[in-house]
Amino acid sequence: MEIIFILVQPAVPENIGAAARAIKTMGFGNLRLVSPPGYPQEKMYHVAHGSREVLEHAGLYPSLQDALHDIDLSIACSAKKRSVRYDYHHAASLPAILERKAASVKKAAIVFGREESGLSNEEVALCDLISFIPMKGRYPSLNLSHAVMLYAYLLSPFAAPRTKKPKDAKKGKVKQMTLLAGKSMEIIRFRKDSNIYRRVFERLSLLGDDDVNLVLSFLDKLQKTLDGR
């Protein structure tokens, strides 16, 4: 499984450089940037310290939706609770969640928002899960690069080479499952603005490999039945 770190409109060049250094320190190298103002800036390299190649190979995207185009599982990082409709997953629980999905997810993204305002509600809605880092007090809040460092540390086991590659790792089964689920719900005219709609996809994203295969088989048969009625 490949872990990709996405920064949405990071305003401070030093934070971009520090984030690049943080992920490289933990064995990662895939950084994507969404509309970084004035990119690139020399200030980024001043704090990158040996991580210049991460910055030079960083992907640039005009929107978060574009940055997520090939991602099977996306996890938004949020310091504030948006809605009771969402489950918030402790950052420390992410390794276990990803481990259960090792054979059905090829690319997973950890998404960080702006330094001042974080991710918008619309951007959070583009992601499959929401994660948080628990803090004793609301202020002072974590610096963006510090948050990246914590997630990179927790997920560092996924940066190490694995001796055995899962046979189904390239198939992107989670993405395939959610696409089929979306088509089925459209056919039965399930309202996208209903409270349960988001919850269905969130729960699907949490399924382990065995359950993903089971639900995928069910949805495939359901889709064929609905198409042929």
Residues 44 and 119 in one domain: yes
Distance CA 1, CA 18 (A): 24
Residues 86 and 181 in one domain: no
Distance CA 63, CA 123 (A): 9
Residues 148 and 182 in one domain: no
Instruction: For 159-188, write each residue's pLDDT tens digit.
Output: 966 544 444 444 567 777 777 777 777 776
Indicate whether 136 belongs to any domain: yes
Residues 176 and 68 in one domain: no
Residues 174 and 78 in one domain: no
What value does the mean pLDDT take over residues 126-131?
A: 93
Lowest-confidence segment of 10-14, 66-70, 109-113, 141-145 by average pLDDT: 141-145
Residues 32 and 144 in one domain: yes
Residues 65 and 9 in one domain: yes
> According to the model, what pLDDT value does residue 101 have?
86
Residue 125 structural domain: 2-158
Cis peptide before 166 (omega within 30 of 0): no
What CATH number is given to the structural domain containing 149? 3.40.1280.10
Distance CA 213, CA 208 (A): 9
> According to the model, what pLDDT value does residue 169 have?
46
Indicate whether 164 belongs to any domain: no
The kind and range of the H/E element at 175 are helix 173-187
Residues 23 and 112 in one domain: yes
Residues 187 and 104 in one domain: no
Distance CA 38, CA 182 (A): 38
Interior CA angle at 201 toward 195 and 205, to 5°?
A: 140
pTM of the model: 0.76
Alpha-helical regions (H) of 8-143: 13-25, 42-48, 52-56, 64-67, 94-99, 121-125
The residues pairing with 132 across neighbouring beta strands, listed in sequence order, are 90
Question: Mean pLDDT for the chain?
Answer: 84
Instruction: For 44-58, write each residue's pLDDT tens digit.
Output: 998 988 899 999 999
